[in-house]
Structure 1
């Protein structure tokens, strides 16, 4: 699993709040990308889409998954966080009703690859109070 770069090596027992990690990101097809992310990068050429599950290190809790669009021509990245919430119970099947929620797309310069883009995006989510 990859961890958010923190500038210095730390031991396993030295993790503190604010640290997230993700398994290796996977490239996804344009059709699998969230509609708001696709709209945010419409008109761009050379865009590749990626997905990664985000895990809070101290609690080992799944925080959602990031979808990232990387425009290799302009050196820009655009990301969204997707979370699934239980919003009710189906009266007939008694199964939970799940609803996906996405953050607004966030564009930023990044020509250092998808791993760096995810790291920058996660740090911005933390600064915005979305991540612990």
Structure 2
């Protein structure tokens, strides 16, 4: 009798189509970091910064972006969620004025894996009611 391989396809009704997903995170320069994140980690040395975007799984819509600061020596991570909204529309041209908004920084322990850190940040934001 043949055993089922672990990676074999699952039935459609077993798929989890809730929550968020993200493409692979990319390392960014300190100059690209949002001021609120830079302020939250002020004084830390040897910090690496990462960014990615969040996608709502059920709708496949872009929700916003996240930025994270990781201090490997201290075993700490800090992240923020960034969204863009229209603050006003120019009456003459019809052009929108876009404003970037950031959540408060979320700090948490870092275990050495950036993808796990993104997952932890998303869970903290979910518990705070920031994302679905």
TM-score, normalising length: structure 1: 0.86
Instruction: Give how far 1:61 is off.
Output: 1.4
Instruction: Give how far 1:30 is off.
Output: 0.2
Contact 1:23 1:53 in 2 (8 A): yes
Aligned to 1:15: 16
Aligned to 1:94: 94
Count residues with an aligned counterpart.
122
Instruction: Give how far 1:88 is off.
Output: 1.2
Contact 2:37 2:69 in 1 (8 A): yes
Structure 2, unpaired ranges of 5+: 1-8
Structure 1, unpaired ranges of 5+: 1-9
Aligned to 2:5: none
TM-score, normalising length: structure 2: 0.86
Query: What does residue range 3-82 of structure 1 map to in structure 2 within 5 Å?
Result: 11=10, 13=12, 14-17=15-18, 19-82=19-82
Contact 1:15 1:58 in 2 (8 A): no
Instruction: Give how far 1:80 is off.
Output: 0.1
Q: Which string of whole-angstrom CA distances, capped at 9 and with x for unpartnered residues, describes residues 61-110 of structure 1?
A: 11100000000110100000000011110123211111111001111111
Distance 1:93 1:121, change over 3 A: same
Q: Which string of whole-angstrom CA distances, capped at 9 and with x for unpartnered residues, describes residues 8-58 of structure 1?
A: xx94842243x2111111111000000010111111111001100000111
| Larger Rg over CA atoms | 2
